[in-house]
Structure 1
Amino acid sequence: MRRWAAALIGGALLTTGLGAVAPGAAAEQPHDVALGAKYTVSTRIPNAQLQAEADAHYPDVGGRSLTDGVRAGAGFTDPGWVGYLQQVGRTMDVDLGSVKTIRSLSMDYLFYQSASVFLPAKVTYALSADGTHWRTAGSAAGNNRGTANEHRAVSLAIAPTYARYVKVVFDTNGYTFADELTVLGTDGRAPGARAPHGPAYRPEPLADQGYQRAGTPRVGGVRDMYLAYTYGPGNPNRAQGMWSDRDLLPIVSHVDTEGRPTDWMFDTVLWMAGGDASEYQDKAGWTDLIDRQFTPNVDVDALDHAVDTARSSLGGAPHRVKVVLPVPLPTMDSPTPWGELDGQTLDLNPDRVGGAKAAANRLKVVDWLIARSRARFAAGHYRNLDLAGFYWMYERIGPNSSDSALVQQTAASVHSHRLKFYWIPYYQAPGFQYWRSYGFDAAMLQPNYFFDDTLPASRLTSATQLARWAGLGVEVEGDEPMLTSPAAQQKFAAYLDTFHHEGADRALTGWYWGARDTTLGSARSTDPAARHTYDAAYAYLRTSR
C-alpha cells in the first residue's frame, strides 16, 4: 500500500502521490466523473421475452445512454430514456477508468404515473477501489408522490471517498425509465478522502419465501377465493353483475349436470367493483357499489340463500362461506369533486386542493366505504356468511407514492376492525414485491397468461416462481372463450397442471373466470369439453384441500 505524506510549505498544503496538488495550483472543481464511463447492467430475475420487448422499444443505445451526458425529455418516448421492464431489479456496474474522489451520486429517473412509470422504491450505491471488494455508500428512496410527469433524481451525498468503480442497484416497478448517472467528484485521490467504507455490499438473496399458504389464520382462513363481478348502472354488463341464488349455487357447491349439489366448492367469494375507474370517480358510483351488493335477493343476500340451498342437499354440519368486499381507488384526476360527506365537499385532486388535503379526503372516502359496508353486512344478519375483510381493487401500487400511503392507512383501518386486507396485482405490477410493507395480509399474483396468445406457456412457471420468491399466492384465470374454444380450454388446463406441478396448489388462490356467464356456462354446458373446465376446477380444489 502506498504511504502518503503531507507537509505545510509556505502556508500551502503539498501532498505527494496520486492526485497531488502543487503549491499555488487552483483546486479542481467537482464535475461529473462518470461522463462517458463504461458500464454493464445485469437483471435480478431475467426474463428473455420481457428483455427483448424493452430492448426493442427503449434500448440502451451502444450501452452508453446512461453516461453520455444527454438528458432525455419529460416524455417516455424520448430516445434518451432507457426502459427497464419488470424483472424485479437491475444492477449497474460502472468503471470510471481511474480512481476518482467522489462526493455525490445521483441517478435520474422518469415519473409518469398515468403510464405506470415509477421510480424505484430504493436506489443503493456501492463503491470499490478494485472492482472486487465493495462497500455500501448508502441508499436513497425514490419519490413517487404527486401527479406531474417529470425527471426525478435519486441522489446521495457522501463524505469525499476515493474509488474507481461504482455500483447502482435499483428495483423496477412496471417500466422504470432511467437516464443519466451523475457522479460528482474530482480526478485522483483528494487530500483527506477516505477509502470506500461502510457495510460490505452484498446482493440481496434471491431465496424463495415460499407460497402464501391457503387456509391459515394469516389469510383469514381463505383457501380458494372466487371473484364475482358486479357492475354500475351505465355498464353494459350490469345484468351479469346481478347474481341470484341460483347463479351462486355452482360457486358455493359443485353441481352435477342436472344442477344438483354434490360437494362444497369455493370457500370465499370476493365481490368485485367491475368496470373501469371512471365509474367510481364520485360518491354516486361508490354508493351504487354498496347498494347493489346488498340489494335483497341479489349478490351477498343471494349468496346466503345459495349456501342454504346447497346445505339442504348436502346435509352435514352447518357450512359458512367467507365474503370479501371491494375498495375502489379514490382517483385523484377526477374533473369534479368526489361529493359531500358530513356537510363537507371532498375534492380528491391535489392540483386543486393541495397534496395534504387530497390525501386526507381520499382516506375519508375509504373510511366511509368501509364503515358503510360493514354496517350493511351486519344489518343483513346472514346465517351462513362471515365477513373476512376488504380487497384493494387497484392492481398496481407505486412504492413511496400517494397510493401506497393511502393503502397503508386503509390497512390500518381494516385491521382496526379485526378484518383482513387482500390484493391481487397483475404480473410484475408496480409494487407487487412490496405487498407486505403496504399492509396487506394476503396477496395473489396474476399470471395474465390466458389473455395473451403471444405468451409462451412458460409464463405460468415464471409466475409461480415469482409468487414463491415474493411469498404470494396465485390466481387461476379463465374467461368466456373456455365455453367454445379448445385452445382456451387447454390454456385453462395448463394453469391447473402447472400450479400442481410447481406446488402452488397448496397456495392461497384467487379464481378469475370473467363475468358471471362464463362460470354458469361451463357448469350448465351440454358440451363435454366446456363442462370439463368446471369439473376440472372442482377436482383441483378437492385434491388441494
Structure 2
Amino acid sequence: MAAAAPRNLALGKAYAWSDAPDADRPDRGGQLTDGKLGALDVDDPAWVGSTRGKTREVTIDLGAPKSITGVRARFLQDWPARSTLVPLNVSFAVSTSGRTWSTVGRQATQLLWGDGPARDEWFSWAEERDGVPDQPQATAAYGRYVKVSFSVHTRAAQLIDEIQVQGEDGRIRGAVTPAPDKPHYLKPGADTAGIKDLALIYNGQYENGRGDWTADKLKPYLARVDQSGKPVSRLFDGVLMLGLQTPTGVDLGSGNARKADWEWYRDKTFAAGGDLQQLDQAAGTVNAALRGPDRKTKVVLTIPNTGSWIDFGDVDGDGVSENLSPDAVGREQALDNQQKVVRWWTEDLIKRWNAAGYHNLELVGMYWLPEQIDVGADGPEQARRVTDVVHEHQLKAFWIPHFLAYRAFLWKQAGFDAASFQPNYFFEETDPRRLADAAGIARSYGMGVEMEFDERAATDPVMRQRLLDYLRAGSTEGFQNAYVAYYQGVDAMLTFSRSQDPKVRELYDLVADFVQGKTIR
C-alpha cells in the first residue's frame, strides 16, 4: 500500500496564544487553522495580530502525536501606508507533552522590511529542505504540539492569518522525537576568554574630549571606588575599546568609513599616552592599590564595518585601492577583498599591541562592529570570514546584536565565540516586558545579555527607572551571573562615580553591586 500523502494536520485544530491579539485585530476563534487565506488587505478580518509587546507564541494541539514534515505561517506587510511589517524572525518547535520543546527551525524574512504595496510572506520549516536538528537520517519530527513564535516590532503591527502543519498521522518510518531545547545564557568561560563583565569604553571623537581617556577616568571601571576615588575592590574584568565617531564625521559602524578613518582611530588608540596606554596605567594603579595577586585586564579591540566601497584604500602596498563592491568586482572577489581589509587591520593591531609591551593588559579578542548580519545573501559568509581571521590569531570573536538584529540566531554558525543580546529597552518607550522578552531570546540563542544605560540616568527620572529595571531584571531573569556586556553611553559610570549628588552616586554603587553579584531589588 502506498504511503499516505502529507496533509495539513493543523486544519481545524485548536490552538492557544501566549498573549491575546490586540482588541482591534482579534482572533475570533480558529482563524489561524481554518484553511482560509486573507486578502492582501490589512482590513480583511482574517488577519490577526499585535503591535508591541513580547514575542508571540501560537501553540497548536494536533490531538495526538503525529509525523510532522513541515510547518508554515503566513504574514502580511504593508509599509508605510498601514504600519504593518512581517516579523524579522520566526521559529518553529514541536513537543510531545506541550511542556518541553524542541526547536526544529528558524527563518529570517526574505521579503525584508521596505516600502511598498501590501505583500505576504510564508515563513516555514521543511524537513526535506532543512532537516531535523542533529538527526540527519530523520524523515519527520514526531510530536503532538507545534509552536510558532515570532518577534514583535515596537511600532509596527505583525499580522498573521494561517498556520499549516504538513505531515501524516501516526509515526512513519524515520520520524524522530527531536532532542529537547536546553535554553541557557552564555556563561563566562573559554568562549568569553574568561570575561564575565565587559565594559564598553567608547574612545572615538566626542565633544569636549569625552572620548579621550586618562588613567584616572578609567580607574572607576577597573575598580569600585569610594567617593574620594580610592579603589576598594575589583569591578569590570574586561574592556572593549570601541570607536564610532571620527573627525570627518563618519561613523566606523556605518560601512561608510574608508582606510584613513580606520587609521585615525587606530593611531588614537595606540598613541603614546593614548587610550590603551592610559588603560594599562589604570590597571597598574588598581593592582597596586588592592590586595591579592595582580590581574591583567582583558581587552577586546574593534573591527569596523568594511562596507562595500569601490575605493576603500590600499592595504597591501600594491598601489591599488581595495574594491569591496560586489557590483564592481563580483561576489567572490568582494568577499575576498573585504576579508583582506579585516586581515590587514587585525594583524596591524596585533603588531602594534605586541610592540607596545603593556604590562597590565591582555589582548583576548576582536569585536565585530556591525550589530546584525548583513541582509544580503552573503551576510553569513561575510561574518564568517571576519571570525575566521580572528581565529587565525587565536583570539576570540565578540559580537553584540541589537534586539531586532537580522539573523542573530546564526551567531554560532557565523563563528562568533561570545555574543550578548541587546534588549534596547533603555532607548525608547517599549512594553515593560521587553527585558523579560530579551532575556528569553538570549537564552534561546545561548547568548549573554547587554546592560544598557547612559548619562541621562543621572538627570532624567524615566531613564533612571529604566536603568533600575535592568538591574532588577538581571536577578529575576537570571542573567546577572551570565556573561554580560555593559553599554554606558560614553562615560556614564565615570559621571556617576564623581557625582556629589547622593542619588546619582547611588547609581554607580548599584551597578557595582550588580557586577559584584548582589541582588538588586
TM-score if structure 2 supplies the norm length? 0.71
The answer on whether the counterparts of 2:303 and 2:368 sit within 8 Å (CA) in structure 1 is: yes
The answer on whether the counterparts of 1:363 and 1:409 sit within 8 Å (CA) in structure 2 is: yes
For 1:308, the equivalent position in structure 2 comes to 284
Written as runs of structure 1 = structure 2, the 5 A alignment for 1:92-103 is none
For 2:344, the equivalent position in structure 1 comes to 368
- In structure 1, C-alpha distance between the alignment counterparts of 2:342 and 2:45, rounded to whole Å: 40
- In structure 2, C-alpha distance between the alignment counterparts of 1:400 and 1:278, rounded to whole Å: 16
When structure 1 is superposed on structure 2, of 491-500 and 219-228 the one drifting more is: 491-500
For 2:66, the equivalent position in structure 1 comes to none
- In structure 1, C-alpha distance between the alignment counterparts of 2:77 and 2:327, rounded to whole Å: 16
Classify the secondary structure of the residue corresponding to 1:227: strand
For 1:9, the equivalent position in structure 2 comes to none
The answer on whether the counterparts of 1:116 and 1:174 sit within 8 Å (CA) in structure 2 is: no
Q: What amino acid sits opposite 1:259 in the alignment? A: G
Written as runs of structure 1 = structure 2, the 5 A alignment for 1:305-344 is 305-314=281-290, 316-332=292-308, 334=309, 336-342=310-316, 343=318, 344=320
The Cα of 1:264 is off from its aligned counterpart by 2.2
TM-score if structure 1 supplies the norm length? 0.69
Picking from 220, 227, 236, the partner of 1:257 is 227
Picking from 494, 501, 504, the partner of 1:530 is 504
Classify the secondary structure of the residue corresponding to 1:339: coil
Q: Does 1:468 align with 2:479?
A: no
Classify the secondary structure of the residue corresponding to 1:389: strand
- In structure 1, C-alpha distance between the alignment counterparts of 2:225 and 2:322, rounded to whole Å: 47
Deviation track 1:32-68 (CA, whole Å, cap 9, x = no partner) reads: x99xx8788877xx466xx65xx989999x9579977
- In structure 1, C-alpha distance between the alignment counterparts of 2:76 and 2:259, rounded to whole Å: 33
Classify the secondary structure of the residue corresponding to 1:511: strand
Classify the secondary structure of the residue corresponding to 1:506: coil
For 2:371, the equivalent position in structure 1 comes to 395
**Structure 2: stretches of 5+ with no match in the other structure:** 63-68, 79-83, 95-103, 129-138, 140-144, 246-250
The answer on whether the counterparts of 1:87 and 1:428 sit within 8 Å (CA) in structure 2 is: no
For 2:493, the equivalent position in structure 1 comes to 519
Q: Does 1:431 align with 2:407?
A: yes
The Cα of 1:226 is off from its aligned counterpart by 0.3
* Pair 341,108 (structure 1): closer, same or farther in 2 beyond 3 Å: farther
Classify the secondary structure of the residue corresponding to 2:381: helix
The Cα of 1:279 is off from its aligned counterpart by 6.7
For 1:13, the equivalent position in structure 2 comes to none
Deviation track 1:481-518 (CA, whole Å, cap 9, x = no partner) reads: 221234433332232223123332211111111112x2
For 1:242, the equivalent position in structure 2 comes to 212
The Cα of 1:461 is off from its aligned counterpart by 2.9
- In structure 2, C-alpha distance between the alignment counterparts of 1:483 and 1:68, rounded to whole Å: 54
The answer on whether the counterparts of 1:478 and 1:492 sit within 8 Å (CA) in structure 2 is: yes
For 2:514, the equivalent position in structure 1 comes to 540
* Pair 398,108 (structure 1): closer, same or farther in 2 beyond 3 Å: farther
The answer on whether the counterparts of 1:348 and 1:362 sit within 8 Å (CA) in structure 2 is: yes
Classify the secondary structure of the residue corresponding to 1:330: coil
For 2:65, the equivalent position in structure 1 comes to none
- In structure 2, C-alpha distance between the alignment counterparts of 1:383 and 1:395, rounded to whole Å: 32
When structure 1 is superposed on structure 2, of 445-454 and 265-274 the one drifting more is: 445-454
The answer on whether the counterparts of 1:390 and 1:414 sit within 8 Å (CA) in structure 2 is: yes
- In structure 1, C-alpha distance between the alignment counterparts of 2:169 and 2:463, rounded to whole Å: 62
Picking from 475, 483, 486, the partner of 1:508 is 483
Classify the secondary structure of the residue corresponding to 1:293: helix
Q: Does 1:385 align with 2:333?
A: no
For 2:203, the equivalent position in structure 1 comes to 230
- In structure 1, C-alpha distance between the alignment counterparts of 2:415 and 2:518, rounded to whole Å: 27
Deviation track 1:216-249 (CA, whole Å, cap 9, x = no partner) reads: 22321101110011225xxx54822221112111
Give 1 or 2 for the bigger CA radius of gyration. Answer: 1
Q: What amino acid sits opposite 1:348 in the alignment? A: L
Picking from 349, 354, 358, the partner of 2:325 is 349
* Pair 379,171 (structure 1): closer, same or farther in 2 beyond 3 Å: farther
The Cα of 1:183 is off from its aligned counterpart by 12
- In structure 2, C-alpha distance between the alignment counterparts of 1:142 and 1:491, rounded to whole Å: 30
Q: RMSD over aligned Cα, in angstroms?
A: 5.0
Q: What amino acid sits opposite 2:421 in the alignment? A: L
- In structure 1, C-alpha distance between the alignment counterparts of 2:300 and 2:379, rounded to whole Å: 21
The Cα of 1:179 is off from its aligned counterpart by 9.4
Q: What amino acid sits opposite 1:288 in the alignment? A: W
Q: What amino acid sits opposite 1:317 in the alignment? A: P
- In structure 2, C-alpha distance between the alignment counterparts of 1:205 and 1:455, rounded to whole Å: 30
Q: How many residues align?
A: 471
Classify the secondary structure of the residue corresponding to 1:461: helix
- In structure 1, C-alpha distance between the alignment counterparts of 2:77 and 2:305, rounded to whole Å: 20
Q: What amino acid sits opposite 2:272 in the alignment? A: P
For 2:464, the equivalent position in structure 1 comes to 489
Classify the secondary structure of the residue corresponding to 1:543: coil
- In structure 1, C-alpha distance between the alignment counterparts of 2:238 and 2:510, rounded to whole Å: 19
Classify the secondary structure of the residue corresponding to 1:262: strand
Written as runs of structure 1 = structure 2, the 5 A alignment for 1:72-87 is none
Q: What amino acid sits opposite 2:281 in the alignment? A: H
Classify the secondary structure of the residue corresponding to 2:321: strand
* Pair 505,408 (structure 1): closer, same or farther in 2 beyond 3 Å: same
* Pair 171,296 (structure 1): closer, same or farther in 2 beyond 3 Å: farther
